[in-house]
Amino acid sequence: MAEPKKLHIAMFPWLAFGHLIPFLELGKLIARKGHHISFISTPRNIERLPKIPPDLAPSITFVKLPLPHVENLPENAEATTDVPHHIVPYLKKSHDGLQQPLSHFLETSAPHWIIHDFAPHWLPPIATKLGISRAFVSIFSASTWCFFNPCPRSHDPSTRTEPEHFTVPPKWVPFPTKVAYRLFEAKKIFDNHKEDNASGVSDFFRLEMVLPGIEAWAVKTCMEVEGEWLKLLGELYDDIPVIPVGLLPPRPKQEGGDNNKDSTWDTTGDWLDKQEKGSVVYIALGSETQPSQQDFTELALVEVPEVFLERTGGRGIVWTDWAPQLRILAHESVGGFLTHCGWSSVTEALQFGRALVLLPFLTDTGLMARFLEEREAGVQVPRNEEDGSFTRESVAKTLKLVIKDVEGKIYRDNAKEMASIFGDMDLQSTYIDKFVEFLENQRHANKGTLS
């Protein structure tokens, strides 16, 4: 049987590192199967990505498209981490200005596939005209997509018109679940939805435009973790192949490569080496989260780092810049992780069996917190149901329960058990094999012999 010919696959993630990093990880795994990747983003974002392993460098080309200037977007702001939340719509408006340069790249380089995110609502007619197959990649869990279900033909959106409607599982979920919003989370979503969108295009409109015509919906998950949700997603979108690509767990030794950012490990690694096994709680809220001043105060992070370190003696460390999260989580001194519940951060933590203290902030993370509580892999910090506020006492009590108390052993045990799935590289590789096989076969069926 003849070997499949090499595919040229373009990848175009949204301008957020919570999207860029999983897209890059997927690109590296596809490249290891013998195909060429063109990874498309802006110059500054590409410069901030982890270095590619030398053996993969010939198979991955970084395509830098300068981000058009728009009013109200700060200079050098190229990712959501560079701007406060209310400025993100201007980033989306600037991103929409990439339509012409991306179109030019696709026309001149003629990839077989473009694997893209939710944002480029203008991409489908371009790809269709050029005969380029499209696959949509979701960096969110299958359970999150099923809860939102932006497919209008599969439900009546008018049934969810108030925040309270989002505090219970939707009617199209046929099995028992706790995956739903808390009232304060639902209110925040509604408040954000009422705000004017400076980009002129809502996220739901973007999804409604990019989903029709895709030849695959790739989801960052696996059957062992979200089997019933994947089945439901496939039923809701029965005209689109829904394909799990695995959890895309990165490997600790690959994080950063030769990147200068690895120098931060000298400080954090030396400190961790001096701590007892399982005694450290790692606290990180992701690159997109912007807690209020009160939230920072309650987490004891509002103090000047020097004061914090003086007060805690050698018992704590504050790192205000980029941190080598994967290497920290892999260290044996870490016994738990206080997390904002981003799917990628959760994946990294459970890869090493770290029990979770859940403190969600952003749109999808409340649903992820419920999913993890349902699996008893972590506990959410108690919060005021109306405004979402929490206290330092509630944080301390939850940390003690999850990390130390006898009553919290079930969460520690379940997290360790989940490591057998999240950390099983062979298992996760089988999902990549099937996805790549789909890309090869589908392209062959659509276009005949690859050129």
* Active-site residue set: 19, 117
Backbone angles phi and psi of 115, in degrees to 5: -100, 120
For the residues of 36-58, what is the DSSP string, one character each? EEEEEE-HHHHHTSPPPPTTTGG
Q: Which residue has the tokens 């989801």?
A: 219
Using CA of residue 328, residue 400, residue 294, residue 390, what is the dihedral sign?
Answer: positive
Return the DSSP state at 402.
H
Length of the chain counted residue by residue: 451
Task: Count the neighbouring beta carbons within 10 Å of the beta carbon of residue 435.
Answer: 23
* Rounded Cα–Cα distance for residues 181 and 385 (Å): 11
* Two tokens, residue 106: 């696709």
CB atoms within 10 A of CB 193: 11
What is the DSSP secondary structure assignment for residue 331, as one 8-state letter? Answer: S
Q: List strand residue ranges (DSSP E) for 60-126, in order.
A: 60-64, 113-116
CA-CA distance, 96 to 212, in Å (whole number)? 19
- CA nearest neighbour of 42 among 73, 8, 12, 19: 12
CB of 365 closer than 8 Å to CB of 342: yes
Neighbours of 86 (CB within 10 A): 12
Measured CA to CA in angstroms, residue 354 lies from 117, 192, 219, 315 at distances of 29, 33, 23, 20
Beta bridge partners of 357: 338, 379
| Rounded CA separation 339/331 (Å) | 17
Question: Strand, coil or helix: what is 304?
Answer: coil
Q: Is 239 helix (H, G, I), strand (E, B) or coil?
A: coil
The three-point CA angle 63-325-225 to 5° equals 85
Residue 357, classed as helix, strand or coil, is strand
Query: Alpha-carbon distance 398 to 378, whole Å?
Result: 10
